[in-house]
Amino acid sequence: MGIIKRDLLLAIRRQSDVLTTLFFFIIVVSLFPLSVGPEMNMLRAMAPGVVWVAALLASMLSLNRMFSNDYSDGTLEQMLLSPQSLSLLVLGKAFAHWLVTGIPLVIMAPILGIQYDLPSEALLVLTITLLLGTPVLSLIGAIGAALTLGLRGGSVLVSLLVLPLYIPVLIFGAGAVEANMAGIGFEAHLSLLGAFLLVSLVLAPWATASSLRVSLE
C-alpha cells in the first residue's frame, strides 16, 4: 500500500515527531515513582496500570497529526477523491500511525517495566497486551482525529471524545498483566483484546472515512 510507504517516509523525514511521543511515554511513566514514593511492592502493583495509562496518553498525543498535516496541505482532499476505497486508505494511515507511535511504545514498555520491578513473565504479558492493544488505540483514535479536523481546540476535544472509548482496552490490557502477576490465567484477557482489535479493524476505518467526508464538506 502506497499510503503506508508515504507516511513512513514522512515520519523518517520528521523523526522528532516520533521521538516526542516516545519520550512523553517515558517521562509520564517515570513521574509516578516520584509522586508516590519508591516503595517497590506498591510500584509493582501499580506498574501495569501506569504503563497502560501512559501508553493511552502518548498515543493520544500523536493523534492530531494523523490527518491534520494532510488536511492543511490539501493531500487529504486528494485521498477523498481517490478511486481507491477511502476506508482502505484510512486503514493504511492508521497502520502507519501505529508503526510509528505504537511500536516504539511496545518496545520501550518492558524496559520501563523493569524500573517497576515487574517479574519477567509479567513483562512478556505486558508487551503482548500492548502489541494487541495499541493498534486498537490508533484505529479508534482515527475516528476522533477525523471528527475534530480543523476545529479550534481540536487536540483537547480529541481526548474528550476518544479516552472514554479507550477504557475497555485499558481494562483488559492492564488486567491481563495483573492477572498474570496474581497467578490467574490471562488468556481470556488476551482473546478479548484480540476481539477488540478485530472489531475495530472492521468498523473504525469505515467510521473514520465517513467522519473525514463530513469534516471536509
Nearer residue to other proteins within complex by CB, 27 or 199: 199
Distance of alpha carbon 173 from alpha carbon 125, whole angstroms = 9
User: What residue type is assigned to position 147 of the chain?
Assistant: L
Complex with other proteins: residue 103 or 171, whichever CB lies closer? 171
Least distance to other proteins, CB of residue 59, Å: 17
Instruction: Give CA separation, 54 vs 60, 102, 196, in Å.
Output: 10, 12, 20
Q: Quick one: cell of 3?
A: 499510503
| DSSP states of 149-182 | TT-TTHHHHHHHHHHHHHHHHHHHHHHHHHHHHT
In the complex, the smallest distance separating the C-beta of residue 26 from other proteins, rounded to whole angstroms, is 26
CB of 32 to other proteins, least distance (A): 19
Question: For other proteins, which is the closer residue by CB, 10 or 115?
Answer: 10
Residues forming contacts to other proteins in the complex (CB under 8 A) are 2-3, 6, 9-10, 13-14, 69, 72-75, 77-85, 143, 147-148, 151-154, 157, 160-161, 163-165, 167-168, 171-172, 175, 179, 196, 203, 207, 210-211, 214-217
**Which residue in 119, 105, 111, 109 sits closest to 45, CA to CA?**
119
- Rounded Cα distance between 44 and 117, Å, is 6
The C-alpha cell of 97 is what?
A: 500511525
Smaller CB separation from other proteins, 25 or 70: 70
CB 42 → other proteins: shortest distance, Å?
Answer: 16
Other Cβ atoms within 10 Å of 71 Cβ, number: 18
Nearer to other proteins, 46 or 161 (CB): 161
Residue 216 Cβ vs other proteins, minimum distance, rounded to whole Å: 6
C-alpha cell of 187? 488468556
